[in-house]
Amino acid sequence: MRPDPTPTDRSPTDRSAADAGPLADLARVTSPAGESARPRADPAVVGVAGGVCAHRQASLDELGRPLSDLTFVVVDLETTGTSVATGEITEIGAVRVRGGEVLAEMSTLVRPSVGIPPMVSVITGITDAMVATAPAESEVVPTFLEFARGAVLVAHNAPFDLGFLRAAAQRCGYPPPTWEHLDTLRIARRLVSRDEAPDCRLASLARLFRSSTEPCHRALADARATVDVLHGLFERLGNAGVRTLEELHEYSARVSPAQRRKRHLADGLPTGPGVYIFRDADGRALYVGTSRSVRSRVRTYFTASEPRTRMAEMVALAERVDAIGCAHALEAEVRELRLIAEHKPPYNRRSRFPERTVYLKLTDEPFPRLSRVRAARDEATYLGPFASTRSADDAADALLAAVPLRQCTGRLSPRARRPACALADLGRCGAPCDGREDVAAYARHVAAARAAITGDPGPVIAASTRHIDRLADDRRYEEAAVHRDRMVSFVRAAARGQRLAALTGVPQLVAAAPTAQAGWDLAVVRHGRLVSAVSVAPGIDPRPWVDAAVASAETVQPQPGPAPCASVEETERIARWLAGSGVRLVRLDGEWSWPAAGAIRDALRYADVHRSPDSPEQAAGRRAEGQRPRR
């Protein structure tokens, strides 16, 4: 029985964020995995005595072994379990192929020395009674070794099958075989996208390549299906320019020889926390990352522990790695954010453009309205920031459903009147445009909206809940989910803004976090910006270090807006650090608190709510309006 591996190495998400600010302003007081191609001599230059190089023409052998000329033995096993230490082979199926033609097949049951578990029998259909008269392992192993002599072994999830075969050969008294082999699972993960197949299991690939044999957890059938998958993969490899076994080994390996050869780039990097920057030959930043041990982390980019394909592309372009040592992890994270925002490295995916965030602003005019803006540059009331205009629009809809602010975009004057729109007749606007509400009456709506944004969002939640209940009573559940998503967008944005306002309003804050070595990590924060970082060794009085950190800290001048001195992401990163286990406040100028009846409390109630996908009708409507449907 073979465990079906899941394609866990397909583009995991990389963690990084962005922020603005010069680095100089932050003051401080303080194994390869996979198969690689066989080594070959340079086909053009050969060293001779005396240091003279003689040029010669490369031989055909040095050009590689064409896949069309090689013999492959495609093998599949059924076993009593998944562990090589405790399991044994119950069936072997193998197909010998060359040049796309089947040369021979081998199939036999194997009598294990232990009973077959019932669950395995259910999966494979092989029972103890079926193997009672089958040949023993000691009889089958020599036959298979002779059948596979001189061929390249192929298996789907090859480590599983080859592990059992090696263990069986050793039990039979043979030296551990060292077969040259291919893994169709590994090759498929490089060639098959998720749009083509949901995963890289043998059954999924057999359907994709229209195999004439359907895998059924029997050895010979699965081996025949693997042959068809192998030939389908070979066709794609030909289009990728891979025609020899050596090229295929290099193509399918997670770490190419060229990638390994750049391991020296990690030499001399700091071993403590810090930020690293991969740069190309022109000095352009390719990727920015952070780690608690810079040298160890950078070394992983040249080994199989780094599975992301795009990172291999980045390493191929990199010519050097710069590193900045930091006092502790928080300083490293903040420097990473600022560097990403400054350089916008192409291989950092997330948060390269903090300027693309969206806010909802209560405009400053006699009859204010909600306006969607990209930056917060004055003392107006803002809701957000939002990661997308869709989230901002949803939050605006939730607020407007509870508070009848005007939705027209023109500037209104108390003296000049204009006809009211349909929203006035629907009761969703007080119609200041035609004089039904004066400035004082309309100001009550503005005050209610400002209170919901900066304080208690209860009126918005209540209005949305009433609407959701009515829709649910009418069994209009999809529409109810849309209104729920709008309410959650508003609550989360209000909570985010209130957390930011609480921290950015503090002129100066000094905090200390205990380290694993019984020392202290100190951070000085002014208006939400990290301005100094210190690491105090164990056994040393930290109080003088606090004074030194404050004295050497960066001076900041707050600007208008929700993030007056740093980016939103930097302030939020600092807030998460302050909420960490064991962190203590050492000094605090002013006060740092959240509103008791604020949106932060309500946001926790909806922490697990996820945005609902659009129904087909809603998706079609969004497309018609030029919007992207929800997924």
Question: Does residue 327 lie in a domain region?
Answer: yes
How many C-beta atoms lie closer than 10 Å to residue 369's C-beta?
Answer: 19
Residue at which a domain ends, from 251, 273, 300: 251
Do 441 and 568 reside in the same domain of the chain?
Answer: no
Do 207 and 265 reside in the same domain of the chain?
Answer: no
Question: Does residue 232 lie in a domain region?
Answer: yes
pLDDT computed for residue 44 by the predictor = 32
Do 309 and 419 reside in the same domain of the chain?
Answer: no
Do 325 and 301 reside in the same domain of the chain?
Answer: yes
Do 222 and 265 reside in the same domain of the chain?
Answer: no
Residue at which a domain ends, from 446, 475, 498: 498
pLDDT computed for residue 425 by the predictor = 62
Tokens of residue 624, six digits? 């018609």
**In this structure, are residues 399 and 490 in contact, taking their beta carbons and an 8 Å threshold?**
yes
**Could you list the mean pLDDT of each consecutive 10-residue stretch along the chain, which spans 631 residues?**
43 35 39 35 32 40 78 95 90 95 95 92 92 94 94 94 93 88 89 87 94 93 95 90 84 68 86 92 92 88 69 86 92 93 88 81 85 82 86 89 81 69 70 75 87 87 89 89 88 88 90 89 93 92 92 87 84 90 90 77 66 49 41 39
Q: What burial letters (b/e) apply to 329-342, b meaning 16+ CB within 10 Å?
A: bbbbbbbbbbbbbb
Question: Does residue 162 lie in a domain region?
Answer: yes
Tokens of residue 116, six digits? 């077959």
Q: How far is CA 235 from CA 102, 195, 228, 276, in A?
A: 17, 19, 11, 40
Beta strands in 13-56, from DSSP E residues, in sequence order: 27-28, 45-47, 53-55
Do 101 and 216 reside in the same domain of the chain?
Answer: yes
Q: How many domains does the chain have?
A: 4
Question: Does residue 620 lie in a domain region?
Answer: no
Do 235 and 158 reside in the same domain of the chain?
Answer: yes
3-state secondary structure of 313: helix
Residue at which a domain ends, from 456, 478, 498: 498
How many C-beta atoms lie closer than 10 Å to residue 295's C-beta?
Answer: 18
Q: Which domain holds residue 109?
A: 71-251
Do 448 and 559 reside in the same domain of the chain?
Answer: no
CATH number at residue 141: 3.30.420.10
Tokens of residue 251, six digits? 């193509």
Do 102 and 214 reside in the same domain of the chain?
Answer: yes
Question: Does residue 330 lie in a domain region?
Answer: yes
How many C-beta atoms lie closer than 10 Å to residue 434's C-beta?
Answer: 13
Residues involved in catalysis: 217
pLDDT computed for residue 613 by the predictor = 52
Do 268 and 183 reside in the same domain of the chain?
Answer: no
CA–CA dist 36, 39 (Å, integer):
9
Looking at the DSSP assignment, which residues form a beta bridge with residue 369?
406
Question: Does residue 46 lie in a domain region?
Answer: no
Q: What burial letters (b/e) apply to 578-604, b meaning 16+ CB within 10 Å?
A: beeeeeeebeeeeeeeeeeebbbbbbe
**In this structure, are residues 578 and 511 in contact, taking their beta carbons and an 8 Å threshold?**
yes
Question: Does residue 604 lie in a domain region?
Answer: no
3-state secondary structure 64-119: CCEHHHCEEEEEEEEECCCCCCCCCEEEEEEEEEECCEEEEEEEEECECCCCCCHH
Assessment of whether the complete model's pTM goes beyond 0.75: no
Do 460 and 547 reside in the same domain of the chain?
Answer: no
pLDDT computed for residue 53 by the predictor = 36
Question: Does residue 420 lie in a domain region?
Answer: yes
Do 228 and 258 reside in the same domain of the chain?
Answer: no
